[in-house]
Chains A and B, each alone.
Chain A
Amino acid sequence: METSMWRALLYLVGLLAFAGVNAAWLGWCERKGAARIQRRIGPCEAGFAGLLQPLADGLKLMSKQLLVPQGVDGIIFRVAPVLAMIPAITSLAVIPFSENIGARAMELSLLLLFALASIGMIAILLGGWASGNKYAIISAARSVSQNLAYEIPMLLTVITVVMISGSMNLREIALDQQGGFWHWNIFRLEHGHFLTMWISFIIFFICSVAETNRAPFDMAEAESELVAGFMTEYSSMGFGLFMMGEYLNIVVGACLTATLFLGGWDCPFGLTPGIWWFLLKIYVLIFTFIWIRWTYPRTQIYRLLNLSWKILIPFSMANLLVTAALIKVF
């Protein structure tokens, strides 16, 4: 009893710290990454290499007034940013960082993650709707149709992984991929899964970009069309929480991708598995998120739905069938 309480407290503090540090300093990473791609320096004044910039930004946001405009739905307006942040932090509880580090290795943890991801979408819907701003409402409507369209192919590709591993427990899925990169789901030699799983990986990655509302799928934010979308009326930390929620969603998406396809904490050569491999993988994935954002122009809402319904869903369905056949035949 005593130890389990300490364990829970430790994980609580640890995960909150991990979430906080990531939410703050991923903003810095994004700005630095964007600057390098655009051949600028980026933040450089606050501290060494601008590393104190997130603190300065946070202080600035906190010192601002939290404006609640007239005519908004006061309660929902205030709750929405919190709702954007909390599910993302909660999701971290079921992520297995390494064989022995993971707050809670529950059965059906995969399902829990998807349920929590949907709450994040509801936060955008509520925030947009409660603002009573026309741009915000358009943005809210967009984000719902976008999330609906992208959850289907995402789940279809996840089912292929679940079929291969035979579990919905993230820890089990990761354990199943131990022992070198040829055991990872994406390159899996067994049953010839490498033939189709790389397609699954690409589809899953595209979907997680879309799910986290990142460019080129940032329809809900689309600053050149909708000013700031659902965040238009938010100021101060209301805005800040939405931003932090966005970065945490990226972290969760990267963790999920790493666990499902890239072998979790496994070393590519099967030598020294450990948390550092997991962290390396998620930060490479997060960098890819940033890299993609600063490369492409934004797509259009109906192009985005077309991509999902006409390309991703048929492909993921075909993939599912082929994977099932491979398991059955070989």
Chain B
Amino acid sequence: MTVPVHLRHDETFVLNLGPQHPATHGVLRVKLTMDGEYIVKAEPVLGYIHRMHEKLAEGGTFAQFMPNTARMDYLHALAFNHGWALVVEKAAGIEVPERAEYIRVITVELNRIASHLLWWAAFLLDLGGFTPLLYAFDDREKIVDLLERVTGSRLTYCYLRFGGVYNDIDDEFIAGTRDFIKRLRGRMPRLYHDLVTHNIILIKRIKDIGFVSAEQCRRYGATGPVARGSGIDYDIRKNEPYSVYPEFDFDVPVFDECDSMARYMVRMHEIEQSMRIIEQALDKLPAGPVMGKAPKVLKPEAGYYYSAVETARGSLGHRLVCNGDKNPYKLKLRSPTFSNLSLFGEVAEGMLLADALAFMGSLDLVIPEIDR
């Protein structure tokens, strides 16, 4: 409920939300000026987990930066792997075999489901529902196990290589993935929708709360489910296709309600769409090598390169400057959550504290990705 607040500066107080606060999922600090429980002004303060990843990229070779990409958005690490691999392949002109492209899509989409499930769990935790967290983690565990089989790690994957992937997928992985999709489809209606989505308390809590207009999204550069929840039909996988995404038949869920519920629904539908992509990719999976020909030491030609991928939180851009050396000359990341968070201050004005936190949860913030 957004209520216009008459600013009475004599009666306002400052509330420091974070950097250590259960609802900020990490070390985000929001400086709130409050009038009672109403927020008069909200200023996100960043930098508590800044690790200068962009600068670190300049210090090592191209391949040495790959593990770092996973440490930024640890929830959708493979998409960050993918983004970095794409831009370097573009710079160095490396061809990727088709099988590797399919495997990339399968693993990235599995990781996207895992990311959305974790968002769902954490969002419910923000709203005070504990049990859904464990149900979502039960499903997520299956994905993590599957990905561990092929990548060797469970959270911060370092799986993609320039020109392919680290390891081929086997029949057990394919069968396991199909089983998982079947299982999640079976559990979705009851444990996710009946228990939570249709629950009157949740609906009252997030419907018509946190109104983000399409104009605001454009002004702040918000992407991903935040923009799609505000009626903007924009998904890099469709609009600027990369990898083998054009070969799959999937929809981009768009909702016009602009509230937290719309963002919630976008993500729930995206899980289903990702499952569709994975199924098609498994059906069409071509045979062949998973690693193309790539030189051991990369020395891309001097120039500017840009490529973008769609992560679970929005579009991620890599801007790479090369000077012909074996290290990147400069790397700049356009990370989705940074833009998504920047509209928080404007939207949260006049909200109640609890509503603002529900709204913040619906933005799906991953702080290390904002600070990098």
Residue numbers of A with Cβ under 8 A of B are 34, 37-40, 134-135, 138, 141-142, 215-216, 218, 222-225, 227, 294-303
Contacts and interface: CB of A to CB of B under 8 A. Distances in A.
Interface string B177-204: 0000000000000000001100101101
Contacts of A39: 134, 138
Given A34-B130, A218-B128, A227-B22, A297 B354 contact: no
Contact of B15 (A34, A134, A300): A134
Given A134-B13, A216-B201, A301-B352, 15 more contacts: A34-B130, A39-B134, A40-B134, A138-B37, A138-B353, A223-B128, A224-B125, A296-B201, A297-B199, A297-B202, A298-B201, A298-B205, A299-B204, A303-B204, A303-B205
B367 to A, nearest CB: 16
Query: Which 4 pairs from chain A and chain B are nearest by CB?
Result: A298-B128, A297-B129, A38-B134, A297-B127
Contacts of A224: 22-23, 125-128, 357
Contacts of B125: 224
Most buried by B among A134, A225, A302: A225
B354 A294 contact: no
A300 B130 contact: no
B135 interface: yes
Contacts of A297: 124, 127-129, 132, 196, 199, 201-202, 205
Given A224-B357, A225-B357, A38 B135 contact: yes
Contact of B354 (A34, A216, A222, A296): A222
Contact of A225 (B134, B195, B201, B353): B353
Nearest to A219: B354
B21 interface: yes
B244 interface: no
B355 A296 contact: no
Contacts of B195: 295
B352 A222 contact: no
Nearest to A298: B128
A301 B138 contact: no
A303 B206 CA distance: 12
A216 B196 CA distance: 13
Interface string B51-81: 0000000000000000000000000000000
Given A134-B15, A224-B125, A294 B352 contact: no
A227 B17 CA distance: 10
A224 B125 CA distance: 7
A227 B354 CA distance: 12
Nearest to A218: B128
Contacts of A303: 201, 204-205
Nearest to B20: A227
A301 B354 contact: yes
Contacts of A135: 15
B352 A300 contact: yes
B153 interface: no
23 contacts: A38-B130, A38-B131, A38-B135, A134-B34, A135-B15, A141-B37, A215-B128, A223-B22, A225-B23, A225-B353, A227-B21, A296-B129, A296-B199, A297-B199, A297-B201, A297-B205, A299-B201, A300-B205, A300-B354, A301-B352, A302-B1, A303-B201, A303-B205
B15 to A, nearest CB: 5
Contacts of B132: 297
Most buried by B among A34, A298, A302: A298
A312 B99 CA distance: 62
A294 B124 CA distance: 12
A300 B204 contact: yes
Task: Say which size band chain B's interface belongs to.
Answer: 20 to 34
A39 B135 CA distance: 8
B357 A300 contact: no
Nearest to B137: A38
A162 to B, nearest CB: 31
A138 B354 CA distance: 11
Nearest to A297: B129
Contacts of B199: 296-297
A216 B131 contact: no
B165 to A, nearest CB: 34
A227 B19 CA distance: 12
A203 B122 CA distance: 31
A202 to B, nearest CB: 15
Contacts of B353: 138, 225
Most buried by B among A223, A296, A299: A296
Nearest to A215: B128
Nearest to B15: A134
Contacts of A223: 22, 128
Contacts of B202: 297
Given A34-B130, A224-B128, A299 B138 contact: no
A296 B199 CA distance: 8
Nearest to B130: A294
A303 B199 CA distance: 14
A39 B137 CA distance: 11
A93 to B, nearest CB: 34
Nearest to B23: A224
A224 B133 CA distance: 14
Nearest to B209: A300
A225 B134 CA distance: 20
B195 to A, nearest CB: 8
A224 B34 CA distance: 17
A302 B34 CA distance: 17
A135 B125 CA distance: 19
A298 B361 CA distance: 14
Nearest to A293: B130
A224 B36 CA distance: 18
Contacts of B138: 39
Nearest to B361: A224
B12 to A, nearest CB: 12
Contacts of A302: 1, 352
Interface in B1-47: 1, 13, 15, 21-23, 34, 36-37
Given A296-B201, A297-B201, A299-B205, A225 B354 contact: yes
B76 to A, nearest CB: 23
A216 B1 contact: no
